[in-house]
Structure 1
Amino acid sequence: MRTKLLIICLLFHSLIAYSQKKEDDHIERKKIIITKTSSSPKIDGILDDAEWQNAPIATNFIERNPNNGKPQADSLKTEVRILYDDTGIYFGAQMYDPTPKKIAKELTERDGISNDDFFGVALNGYNDKQQSLEFVVTAAGVQFDAKLTTDGEDDTWNSIWYSGAKINDKGWAVEIKIPYSELRFPKNNVQEWGMNMFRKIQRTKTFYDWNFVDNAKNSYTLFDGVLQGIENINPPTRLSFTPYFSSYVNSFDGKTTTNFNGGMDVKYGINDAFTFDMTLIPDFGQANFDNSILNLSPFEQQFSEQRTFFTEGTELFSKGGMFYSRRVGGEPSRYPTTNENEEVLEYPAKVKLFNAFKISGRTKKGLGIGFFNGITQKMEATILNNETGETRKEVVEPWTNYNVLVFDQRFNGNSSVSLVNTNVTREGDFRDANSTGILWDLINNKNTYKTFGSLKGSWVMDEGTKFGSRAEAGVEKIAGKHRFSLNGNATTKDWDINDLGFSTKTNFANYNAWYGYRILQPTEKFNNIYLNFNLNYFHRIEPFLNSNFVFNNNNSFTDKKFRVFGGGIEFTPFGQNDIYEPRTFGRHLKIPGYFDSWVWFESDSRKKLQYNFTVDYYAFDEKGRNQFFTNFGLRYRFSDKFNVNWSFNPSFSNNETGFAGKSDTDIFIGRRQRNTYENALTSKYTFNEKMALTLTFRHYFSDVTYKNFYTLNQDGSLADTNNFTKNLDGTYNAWNVDLRFSWWFAPGSQLTLLYRNATSNYLEMSRLNVGKNYDTLFSEPMVNNFSLKLTYFLDYNRVKTWTKKKNMKS
């Protein structure tokens, strides 16, 4: 309690200290005044339109990496013309290059940048150095967009804008139109926006910016220039509809089913800052498959979000790591209760999402507000009485409401204070939950030091209320060659946000010291060097127990040939008291100390053939105990349209110890051998910047063989036992194949045809040879799924124009 009060006092003291308005760190900002055009240029990447002739020009770009601050050479100069009209803002950029044939222009799907030269614009309508919107076009004409904040880049954000790119005899050119409906700015008669523009030349991996960006600092948004000249514009209504139609044919175990779906997403601009998004009758049937594994740990496996509605525009909802969107529409929260003569006939694997919406945005005073709400349907299991043949239904998930509320106040450049609240309310006698967190990042005037921290609480209401808490505080140097961080965090035993978040380890405290060194300018042999050193100490809180002390060093280098490589070491000199593996409060398992060393290498990504590998070896202070993890990857680019990626990840764990089971009096630990192999292949043929065919394959195989079983002593050591005879040997296989055709036939509109083939099995045996393993896998029923989904973007302003034209004709 004293610790929490101290942290609260420090927070309010810091807020008072930072409440005064900071002056900019005397960063010089370029300015450009643009003019209005009465007619719009054609967006085709050819800069021959008359409108460009007298447009203001932005030039004199400055190198960001690798030679920070070096002026761009005249032979590679960048010239950008900028105009605006009543509907949007236009950019016409000529990227000079004396060798146009060497311009990198690999085709990818939208939002994918690979071996490409590119040009981009970052616009901040509030000119507050807090959040910019990025619009990027590659030399192949592929679009990429993202939100850029002081926390980093959120590429899940998607916008509707227009672009064209062409290689020409001077180099290459791009034209961009960004409608005002896609931007955020105040309703002032005279606008003043923050703006930067950037360019990458892939063959030299050189980045340039219009306004100088100091790479000694930690935030790109601090270095905006200023865009002036936009006056008396009336932003259009921000309202769009994206209806969809989908159909599925599923074949499994000799049975074929079909279904048809329809629904719609709605996006509405409430005002200049806030946007309302809603999905009605959502369909997530074409989400990518999950990379499932054989999980022997005490914790559930966490999967990445694959559903578009939950991946777009999530920068506010990800604050504090308290929202795990896979909970919405995840597994049911209960398994049915059965009597002696009953069995579960049908159990829903997933809960159906009824609808969901989110409201998000940021005011001109820097207050970000996000609100998410989702409703899932009641799900029932079917239970069969084997004696009477009768069936009954039991609710395993009731109607449930999920919501997340976020307030994020940014001020004085990079500083922020946030409040996050998540809530789950279930109908009936099912459990409810709530969690609340206060987060802060406070940065000094020169953007060189940061204090950070958080206070979080969780409440679970299920036959009483369980309260848990988590706290963190630290200080960090965030600029210059030499950087460091000192921080600590503590989590109580009842911390639980798993109804709408994701939490694993509880009842521990951790204290960390970190030092990092980096170069800010290239040396004779290296473009980049990063050296990092970490000390971590862990202990159990209740009852107190020293858990672990870890030293870690990891290093990364980029040489002049753009090969990236590194390695490191880690060791635990005193061993570990694992407080989680026994899966019983107050108990622990002794793990011997280890020395871990690893190396990794990644070849030049500009080459047609790129390869990478990682070798990681753990040597434990116990005879015959070790772990070996490896990764091998190959990518071959046959052309700018066709590439293949393959990865192979074998790993071996010898004589590890882990939980096997327990009785009323004993906890059983098994000594085991585990072998895992993962093969993955991705092949993509991109016809043009709007059309692509992708093949994705993954086979995961893992087997575990138990050698001996022990009982766990109170001091964490092991004792031989003959009281455990259960067979825990096992083999798990997962097989997935996706063949996907995607066509962006209009801005925001997509047609996707998908074929999916999948199967998996678990065998209560191990050490099968390759042939027998595949025979057993392919004897399982396979899922064969064909699906077609069409989404079409409708902008309210365009629909209104169509209606007017129709009325005029009539």
Structure 2
Amino acid sequence: MRIRILFLFTIFSVLSFAQEKVQDSITRKKITAVKLEKAPKIDGNLDDDAWKNIPIAKDFIEFRPNNGKAEDADFKSEVKIAYDDTGIYVSAMLYDKEPSKISKELTERDNIGNDDFFVLFLNGYNDKQQSLELFVTAAGVQADSKITNENGEDFSWNGIWYSAAKIVENGWTVEMKIPFSELRFPKSEVQNWGLNFFRQINRTKTAYTWNYINNQKGGFLLYDGVLENIKNIDPPIRLSFMPYFSTYINNYDGQTTTNFNGGMDVKYGINDAFTFDMTLIPDFGQANFDNSILNLTPFEQQFTEQRSFFTEGTELFEKGNMFYSRRVGGYPSKSANVSADETLVEEPSKVKLFNAFKISGRTSKGLGIGFFNGITEKAEAIIKNNITGETRKEILEPWANYNVLVLDQRFNENSSVTFVNTNTMRSGSFRDANSTGLLWNIRNKKNTYQYYGNVKGSWVMDDGTKFGNKSQFGFGKVSGKHRFDVNANFTTKNWDINDLGFSTTTNIANYNAWYGYRILQPTKRFNNIYLNNNITYSHRLDPFLFSTFRFNHNNQFTDKNFRSFGGGVEFTPFGEKDIFEPRKFGRHLNVPGYFDSWIWYESDSRKKLQFNVNIDYYAYNEKGRNKVIPSAYIRYRFSDKFNAIWQFNPVFSNNEIGYAGNNGTDIFMGRRQRNTYENSLTSQYSFNEKMTLSLAFRHYFSDVTYHQFYTLNQDGNLANTNNFSNNLNGTYNSWNVDLRYTWWFAPGSQLTLLYRNAVSNYQDVSRLTFGKNFDTLFNEPMTNNISLRLTYFLDYNRAKNWFRKS
């Protein structure tokens, strides 16, 4: 009866969409670009002659919380934009009647703290689908990203541009220069670009935009204004080099080693729209540490990409989630084969990247083209024969070539069709792989509904060819107070893109329905409200088997004092037939139904002390089985230069059932108690907008204790067994400390001094006391590493002028 009521409620909500009125017309403000004879000095002073007689972009409109309201007279914004043959220039006068209250926290680049800030949106293609976002805070800190309607903001991109900010008696000012080398636009004699400006006043949490953005509709970029009449520009050659030099001192288990590295990244503008990027002899030794865990699931842990070459300018390659860059220079394909009479002397844990390049850009017709190629070196293990003393080498990973090709056609300002192909080729008898996908996202002209989906195929060549496929089809409403989405996903049992992508669940079908309600204007008590309802039904494909039916409701509220809170419930009334935990095709584990409820609270982020708390409780339809997930986040700003954040994320899982092993015939499951504790501390001291000292600490430990073992029956139930007595109790520890000094001494040029301390261990015992756990951890050999890296950005045009002067 409860399910019938839920479906009737969903149908009623869908029918009610027809009654909703949405503003369809989009007014685009326009401003004429003026070409400068003499460039202004980028220092935050707006008295340069260059800014005289430049049209003013003004009359901003409130974006939030009161969407559509005219700007407050006390916070007027006036922006000017101009250009010359080298780039775009922007000046902004941001009025504030109380300059002493302007928020100006110093942070590291790409981090917006407790700040007032100004943003420039530029779209050289004027297609309303992708823009560059260039941020300047009142403290003078830069941040930049690429934003798309499909994927939102991507802060992994780091451009080379110039800015200054200054607090003055009637507000604060911004000056910017964005070289054409950082922009993409079609080759045309006269050009019109998409343009918008954004301003946030932190103490009131009020945001304004130059061109009005209607929050009834998704698609921030659909509301670009227009920068008109850019003409007669002669952009310089887009060629830059970024050489690096790094040195390391490593100490492990009493032995100290040193090494020195050098290499270079090259960036070349093939034309106004396409760019060639290449890394030669890359060095990723200063990448952030991975947050490793004790993984008891059937799937590998996925790590975030930390290497800058693979995070910058990769938005095209992320289409369809078919490219997982950690595969390039990741773990070897196989482990060493060591006999009883042999000893493993050396086994590489990672494959070395030899070089990589990427070409990306977009034509004047809206066709985006991306091509990536990476080559990794051969990795060998050294094995010693204990009887003869001879050593041999075994190839764990041969020379390998990785390719990604993406063709992304945009049209109608808000729609796209994408083709993606990935390919892995290894020398010798090692396996090769290929995957191909076709994706689409179509929106109607009013931008109220979207149709989306994809069809993908994977081929693995290893002792024959294995073919699998994955597909998705969906439809949704993306505007207004009432929104919904329905979709279906199908993944066959042989779907496998793990040579260059990341895939987990296979042989499964999922059907999802979502309905959301949101308020679009503040009420008497709340600035925003979000209510969401989700239904998921899934089943195994081959052979058919019901898997689960899940209902989820979650909500979020933000009050007038900018405190956010919410919660939700989720339940599986019919339990679950888990087809993955048994680790064998055709088998499943019956999991009892659960009722999950959670509540959270987030304090006002403008305060010196900010804290977030959350409690999540799973109650299973089985005596004594539950899971508790509390969490806490505390941030304190000691000053505009110094802040610290502590996070605590424990998980307590009681009487869970998980895979224990098999003997070739029987599958064994274990009932276990698992406790996990994760503590992290991050802090940062900023000397100025270009120089910071930061600390990142993380300690993670998880212990698991098995109480009883069972044999898994064919029907998914469990039977007591005496045939399994392995000790699976264990404790995993991971400890990492990074102390990093960073100095951006010039645009694109960086000096980084890093001290790193790390240790991890696994013990086949559990329930150690806190002190004993630390004793055993710190008895392990620790890695101590000091590294210094210098990266220098060298622009061809500047270097050319140096030689001319000399």
Normalising by structure 1, report the TM-score.
0.96
**Count of residue pairs the alignment pairs up:** 783
Please give the alpha-carbon distance, in whole angstroms, between the structure 1 residues aligned to 2:83 and 2:714: 74
Q: What amino acid is the match of 1:239?
A: L
Please give the alpha-carbon distance, in whole angstroms, between the structure 2 residues aligned to 1:623 and 1:587: 25
Does 2:736 correspond to 1:740? no
Structure 2 gap segments, 5+ residues each: 1-22
Cα displacement (A) at 1:25 = 4.8
CA deviation vs aligned residue, 1:744-786 (integer Å, no higher than 9, x gap) = 0000000000000000010000000011100000000000000
Please give the alpha-carbon distance, in whole angstroms, between the structure 1 residues aligned to 2:567 and 2:790: 46
Partner residue, 2:606: 606
The answer as to whether partners of 2:324 and 2:502 remain within 8 angstroms in 1 is yes
Cα displacement (A) at 1:335 = 1.1
Q: What amino acid is the match of 1:394?
A: E
Partner residue, 1:85: 84
Partner residue, 1:132: 131
Does 2:545 correspond to 1:531? no
Partner residue, 1:550: 550
Partner residue, 2:672: 672
Q: Secondary structure at the match of 2:800?
A: helix
Mapping for residues 614-653 of structure 1, pairs under 5 Å: 614-653=614-653
Partner residue, 2:118: 119
Partner residue, 2:156: 156
Instruction: Tell which deviates more after alignment, 394-403 or 175-184.
Output: 175-184
The answer as to whether partners of 2:658 and 2:669 remain within 8 angstroms in 1 is yes
The answer as to whether partners of 2:593 and 2:620 remain within 8 angstroms in 1 is yes
The answer as to whether partners of 1:250 and 1:784 remain within 8 angstroms in 2 is yes
Q: Secondary structure at the match of 1:112?
A: coil
- Superposed structure 1 runs of 4+ greater than 3 Å apart: none
Please give the alpha-carbon distance, in whole angstroms, between the structure 2 residues aligned to 1:736 and 1:247: 20
Partner residue, 2:435: 435
Q: What amino acid is the match of 2:221?
A: T
Mapping for residues 3-18 of structure 1, pairs under 5 Å: none
Please give the alpha-carbon distance, in whole angstroms, between the structure 2 residues aligned to 1:678 and 1:338: 36
Please give the alpha-carbon distance, in whole angstroms, between the structure 1 residues aligned to 2:589 and 2:88: 63
Mapping for residues 393-792 of structure 1, pairs under 5 Å: 393-792=393-792
Cα displacement (A) at 1:368 = 0.6
Q: Secondary structure at the match of 2:320?
A: helix
Please give the alpha-carbon distance, in whole angstroms, between the structure 1 residues aligned to 2:320 and 2:33: 40
Cα displacement (A) at 1:36 = 2.2
Cα displacement (A) at 1:307 = 0.3
Q: What amino acid is the match of 1:292?
A: S
CA deviation vs aligned residue, 1:333-370 (integer Å, no higher than 9, x gap) = 01122233123221100000000000111111111111
Please give the alpha-carbon distance, in whole angstroms, between the structure 2 residues aligned to 1:87 and 1:718: 72
Does 2:223 correspond to 1:223? yes
The answer as to whether partners of 1:213 and 1:220 remain within 8 angstroms in 2 is yes
Q: What amino acid is the match of 1:313?
A: G
Does 2:37 correspond to 1:32? no
Cα displacement (A) at 1:38 = 1.5
Partner residue, 1:200: 200
The answer as to whether partners of 2:680 and 2:696 remain within 8 angstroms in 1 is yes
The answer as to whether partners of 1:568 and 1:599 remain within 8 angstroms in 2 is yes
Instruction: Tell which deviates more after alignment, 168-177 or 179-188.
Output: 179-188
The answer as to whether partners of 2:187 and 2:364 remain within 8 angstroms in 1 is no
Please give the alpha-carbon distance, in whole angstroms, between the structure 1 residues aligned to 2:185 and 2:342: 62
Please give the alpha-carbon distance, in whole angstroms, between the structure 2 residues aligned to 1:63 and 1:90: 25
The answer as to whether partners of 2:648 and 2:678 remain within 8 angstroms in 1 is yes
Q: What amino acid is the match of 1:43?
A: I
Cα displacement (A) at 1:124 = 1.2
Please give the alpha-carbon distance, in whole angstroms, between the structure 2 residues aligned to 1:446 and 1:81: 31
CA deviation vs aligned residue, 1:152-181 (integer Å, no higher than 9, x gap) = 122111111111000001110011111122
Instruction: Tell which deviates more after alignment, 267-276 or 126-135.
Output: 126-135
Cα displacement (A) at 1:52 = 1.6
The answer as to whether partners of 1:447 and 1:479 remain within 8 angstroms in 2 is yes
Percent identity, aligned pairs only, is 71
Instruction: Tell which deviates more after alignment, 748-757 or 35-44.
Output: 35-44
Please give the alpha-carbon distance, in whole angstroms, between the structure 2 residues aligned to 1:588 and 1:230: 63
Cα displacement (A) at 1:49 = 1.5
CA deviation vs aligned residue, 1:725-746 (integer Å, no higher than 9, x gap) = 1100000000000000000000
CA deviation vs aligned residue, 1:76-107 (integer Å, no higher than 9, x gap) = 10011222222222111110001111111111
- Report the RMSD for the aligned CA atoms in angstroms: 1.0
CA deviation vs aligned residue, 1:431-456 (integer Å, no higher than 9, x gap) = 00000000000100100000110000
Partner residue, 1:52: 51
Instruction: Tell which deviates more after alignment, 107-116 or 754-763.
Output: 107-116
Cα displacement (A) at 1:26 = 3.0
CA deviation vs aligned residue, 1:310-352 (integer Å, no higher than 9, x gap) = 0101111110000000000000001122233123221100000
Instruction: Tell which deviates more after alignment, 215-224 or 235-244.
Output: 215-224
The answer as to whether partners of 1:69 and 1:212 remain within 8 angstroms in 2 is yes
Q: What amino acid is the match of 2:148?
A: T
Q: Secondary structure at the match of 1:684?
A: strand
Partner residue, 2:793: 793
Please give the alpha-carbon distance, in whole angstroms, between the structure 1 residues aligned to 2:134 and 2:212: 19
Cα displacement (A) at 1:35 = 2.1
Does 2:41 correspond to 1:42? yes
Q: What amino acid is the match of 2:755?
A: Y
The answer as to whether partners of 2:61 and 2:210 remain within 8 angstroms in 1 is yes
Please give the alpha-carbon distance, in whole angstroms, between the structure 2 residues aligned to 1:403 and 1:227: 37
The answer as to whether partners of 1:343 and 1:383 remain within 8 angstroms in 2 is yes
Please give the alpha-carbon distance, in whole angstroms, between the structure 2 residues aligned to 1:318 and 1:85: 34
Q: What amino acid is the match of 2:65?
A: P
Q: Secondary structure at the match of 2:649?
A: strand
The answer as to whether partners of 1:192 and 1:230 remain within 8 angstroms in 2 is yes
Partner residue, 1:63: 62
Please give the alpha-carbon distance, in whole angstroms, between the structure 1 residues aligned to 2:180 and 2:723: 72
Cα displacement (A) at 1:47 = 1.2
CA deviation vs aligned residue, 1:515-564 (integer Å, no higher than 9, x gap) = 00011111111111111001100100111110101000011111111011
Cα displacement (A) at 1:229 = 3.5
Please give the alpha-carbon distance, in whole angstroms, between the structure 1 residues aligned to 2:375 and 2:234: 36
Partner residue, 1:350: 350
Cα displacement (A) at 1:75 = 1.3
CA deviation vs aligned residue, 1:242-285 (integer Å, no higher than 9, x gap) = 00000000000010000000000000011111111000000000
Please give the alpha-carbon distance, in whole angstroms, between the structure 2 residues aligned to 1:175 and 1:344: 60
Partner residue, 1:72: 71
The answer as to whether partners of 2:347 and 2:381 remain within 8 angstroms in 1 is yes
Partner residue, 1:172: 172
Partner residue, 1:311: 311
The answer as to whether partners of 1:130 and 1:366 remain within 8 angstroms in 2 is no
Q: What amino acid is the match of 1:94?
A: M
Mapping for residues 140-151 of structure 1, pairs under 5 Å: 140-151=139-150
Q: Secondary structure at the match of 2:650?
A: strand
Cα displacement (A) at 1:391 = 1.4
The answer as to whether partners of 1:476 and 1:485 remain within 8 angstroms in 2 is yes
The answer as to whether partners of 1:109 and 1:692 remain within 8 angstroms in 2 is yes
CA deviation vs aligned residue, 1:678-731 (integer Å, no higher than 9, x gap) = 000001001111000001100001000000001000001111111111100000
Cα displacement (A) at 1:796 = 0.6
CA deviation vs aligned residue, 1:19-47 (integer Å, no higher than 9, x gap) = xxxxx953111111132221111111111
Structure 1 gap segments, 5+ residues each: 1-23
The answer as to whether partners of 1:564 and 1:603 remain within 8 angstroms in 2 is yes
Q: What amino acid is the match of 1:215?
A: N
Q: Secondary structure at the match of 2:68?
A: coil
The answer as to whether partners of 2:33 and 2:83 remain within 8 angstroms in 1 is yes
Cα displacement (A) at 1:191 = 2.1
Please give the alpha-carbon distance, in whole angstroms, between the structure 2 residues aligned to 1:455 and 1:93: 47
The answer as to whether partners of 1:383 and 1:393 remain within 8 angstroms in 2 is yes
